A and B are shown apart, each in its own frame.
Chain A
Amino acid sequence: MEIVLVLGLLLAGALLLALAGHRSWAPELNATMSFATFFATTLLTARVIAVGPMVWGDPSVPTPSNMVLAALAGMLKEQFFVDPFNVFLVALTAFVGFTTALFSRPYMRIEQHHGRVNATRLRLYHSMYQLFSFMMLLCLLSNNVGILWVAMEGATLTTVLLVSLYRTPASLEAAWKYFILCSVGIAQALFGTILLYFAAEKVLGPGGTSLLWTHLHEVRGQLEPTVLSLAFVFLLVGFGTKVGLVPLHNWLPDAHAEGPTPISAVLSGLLLNVALYAVVRSKVLVDGALGHNFSGGLMMGFGLLSVVVAAFFLSRQRDIKRMFAYSSVEHMGIMTFAFGMGGPVAAFAGLLHMTVHSLTKSAIFFTVGHASQKTGTQNMADIRGLVEQSPAIGWGLVIGSLAILGMPPFGVFTSEFMVLTTAMHEHPWATPFLLVALGVAFAAIFGKVQPMVFGETPLADAARRLPRGPTLVPVFVHLGIVLMLGLYIPPYLVAWYRQAAALIG
């Protein structure tokens, strides 16, 4: 029931904002709908804590007495599920969706004040924001691998017009690239899904049930290995394009730099996670069928390449949002590498890293957004002395950058440490690459953030004031949670991570 509530609220939000998204109170409505969704996911989480994993239409869920509802429930039977792997991602997605909506409230108003967007485009923005959240949660909750694909493509479609929201030549170019590359990539994933269905149909028989993940998971040992290994290559390339794995990452820095900052935050913090989730789900099936770690090798290769290439690109960036976009590529690489290694520790680290990266990176984008509004530029050479102009923004950026660079005691340190130690143990050859990349990334990001925050303020900029105060509460809430996860992880979270790691490891 909670699942319907979560998805229904977002659809209702999209519809309401499609009608009223241009009104002056639309940002508040957007935040309220996102909060309601977040609240619904906490209900869902509470339910999962109480009764454990569930599949929609289980005997444990009572059949509704109403005829229409019963028919609907029959149609949706087993189409949605919640297990330890997706439950924390659902909660995380809804939470970051909510805090980003809070951040977007003053941010988009300032943008409107600066004349970069008008009321009509804000209506598009708000409505698509809700629809995008809907698509991501549908991806996570869907038990049907086909619907997972459909929702993933839907997530691209809903964000493409948001990347080009400012209608500048650069933003149109970024959106076009994003659209073409992700559509082509995801078309490869569709071919992979077709091959998966082809293999599953032999075991489970034709019809809707043979694409259900829970069924596939049960019979994964009987699926045809040759077909599945080919399917995985297509699925990895397809969903990997959305994860932003090198060499398929070309769309990512452009889309992050040219779109509105709240969209950069949700793309980086949430969409990449959801795409990686799809890859890992496919990996579980393929590993089961093959019996050996074919998929793991591929993922480790792509992951390591992403980490190294992205780290070396970091120092060449001039645009602040572009730089942090490359940092996202690097971190997605670390996660892909961790899931590729497999095993309980590495998978645990991968899941933890998904959580902390998402929180930290969105917090960084919040501060970056306000910093570039304050200084009127995204060019790092022109941003100086943030800490004097606005201490909250400046400190937020410094703390966020330290956290993302893996400084203790933040949560990113914990997960990266676990990935590194497992790598030393099982794949020693990979350790130097990882260490060098982390070092290079540290030098690049810290070397650029330091002068932006503590450098001399140019006199001309000192007078620039924003028409309204920024909301920086989400930044510090996110960083607070990341700090807490570095020091103490709540026991039920540990239990989920462990169970999920056992499932995917």
Chain B
Amino acid sequence: MAIPLLSQVVNVLAAFLLLLAFAMLSQRRVLTLIKLLAWQGAALAASTAIVAWSTGQSHLYVSVGLTVLLKVLLIPWLLHQLIDRLFIRWDVETLINIPTTMLIGIGLVIFAFALATPISQMATTLTRSTLGIALASVLLSFLMMIVRRKAVPQVIGFLAMENGLFFAATSATYGMPLVVELGVALDVLVGTFIFGIFFFHIREQFDSLDIRHMEKLKED
């Protein structure tokens, strides 16, 4: 009986992850977005830990540690420092209004489930039903990157997408080989640093982090 219970817990966490993805889509304040990102990381770490414990895949603990360290603590802290230094407190403007975005989001979730169902039926892992959710949260983060006008929310969308991908890896396969996970984590960290450097450069040049200023390079 222990295993079905744990798989229930993982399902609850997966649902939480999806809920957070929707929350990010509808959230206008940057500070809250960063908090949501940290929560998403925490949900990811918790579900990975449960999978690790119930299946005895010890390398997954490393991945849990990395997730907590990077996605719950370090990256949100970095982003926090960044917006403090850049004095960003503004509300986020979106390209499409939020209710419409949510409706598109629901459509994406249905699409993701349709795509993932044949694959999850083949999976033997205890978390197989969550693959659809993982794909849905990747697509929702994608949507968030498209509809946001400012640089910081776009980056948060990118990091949320990375979370969704990690969740896909644990739910479909019990995690990628360790070397690969380490490499991916390193890329994400370096990427966040470069984004940070970029924010300063962009602000220096344009006095704003609005992407609208960066639409000069177009075909005429």
Residues of A within 8 A of B (CB): 79, 144, 146-147, 149-150, 153-154, 157, 160-161, 164, 167-170, 172-177, 179-180, 183-184, 187, 190-191, 193-195, 197-198, 201-202, 206-208, 210-211, 224, 226-227, 230, 254, 257-258, 313, 316, 318
Once A150-B187, A190-B165 are accepted as A-B contacts, the answer to whether A174 and B177 lie under 8 Å apart by CB is no
User: Which chain A positions have C-beta within 8 A of B4?
Assistant: none
Verify A194–B161 contact, CB threshold 8 A.
no
Set B119, B180, B195, B219: member contacting A227, Cβ < 8 A = B119
User: Which chain A positions have C-beta within 8 A of B219?
Assistant: 313, 316
Looking at chain A's contact residues, the main secondary structure is: helix
Verify A146–B176 contact, CB threshold 8 A.
yes
A195 to B119, CA, bound (A): 9
A334 to B45, CA, bound (A): 44
Question: Count of A-B contacts with CB under 8 A?
Answer: 136
- Distance in angstroms from B61 CB to nearest chain A CB is 15
A406 to B45, CA, bound (A): 55
Once A194-B165, A316-B220 are accepted as A-B contacts, the answer to whether A176 and B158 lie under 8 Å apart by CB is no
**13 further interface pairs, Cβ-Cβ under 8 Å (given A169-B216, A202-B124):** A150-B186, A150-B187, A157-B187, A179-B194, A180-B154, A187-B138, A187-B161, A187-B162, A190-B184, A195-B172, A208-B177, A226-B118, A254-B217
Verify B176–A230 contact, CB threshold 8 A.
no
A202 to B122, CA, bound (A): 10
A79 to B214, CA, bound (A): 41
Jot down 27 A-B pairs with beta carbons below 8 A, ordered by A.
Answer: A144-B177, A147-B179, A150-B180, A150-B187, A154-B187, A154-B190, A157-B190, A160-B198, A161-B197, A172-B201, A173-B213, A177-B217, A179-B198, A184-B145, A187-B165, A191-B168, A193-B176, A195-B119, A195-B172, A198-B119, A206-B174, A210-B177, A211-B177, A226-B118, A230-B115, A257-B217, A258-B217
Looking at chain B's contact residues, the main secondary structure is: helix
Q: What is the chain A residue whose CB lies nearest that of B165?
A: A190
User: Which chain B positions have C-beta within 8 A of A198?
Assistant: 119, 123, 172-173
Once A198-B123, A198-B173 are accepted as A-B contacts, the answer to whether A175 and B198 lie under 8 Å apart by CB is yes
A11 to B57, CA, bound (A): 33
- Distance in angstroms from B44 CB to nearest chain A CB is 14
Once A208-B177, A226-B119, A230-B115 are accepted as A-B contacts, the answer to whether A169 and B161 lie under 8 Å apart by CB is no
A190 to B158, CA, bound (A): 13
Q: What is the chain A residue whose CB lies nearest that of B173?
A: A198
Verify B216–A157 contact, CB threshold 8 A.
no
Verify B184–A194 contact, CB threshold 8 A.
no
- Distance in angstroms from B94 CB to nearest chain A CB is 17
B77 part of interface (Cβ distance < 8 Å):
no
A153 to B123, CA, bound (A): 28
